[in-house]
Amino acid sequence: QVQVVESGGGLVPAGGSVRLSCTASNLILDTSNMGWFRQSPGKEREAVACISRTGKVTYYADSVKGRFTVSRDHADNMVYLQMNNLQPDDTAMYYCAVEPSLRLGSCSASGKEAWGRGAQVTVSS
């Protein structure tokens, strides 16, 4: 069973930055598309940013384009989400997903992912 672990997050003022990190067991991260999703109370989980196995294809939700950057480090078996200019609407639990459905221009949950437990990001106004 794949174990996915997120780290980072916390409380940050509007306009601030946070970096989330994700790693997975069994080195599966190295051969998988990866995604960051978020969910806030009363809302559905949404894809925020995804990255292909090679890192050559990325996806960003319109709401985060220009502010968030997804990257991966194969040597360290890590995936990152750098979030800049955070706004109160970015407040959510952020989840790392192994093997979301990533296509050119879209990313979504396939129902076959392995998920982490999430990292809370709270942006104060």
> Mean pLDDT over all residues of the chain?
94
Q: Which pLDDT value is given to residue 75?
A: 86
Please give the single-letter amino acid code of residue 76.
D
Banded pLDDT at 25 (limits 50, 70, 90): confident
Q: What does the alpha-carbon distance between residue 30 and residue 81 come to, in Å, rounded to a whole number?
A: 16
> Residue with structure tokens 């997804």?
70
Residue with tokens 């879209």: 106
pLDDT of residue 93: 98
- Answer whether residue 84 shows pLDDT above 90: yes
Q: Are 70 and 80 in contact (CB under 8 A)?
A: yes
Q: What is the pLDDT of residue 44?
A: 95
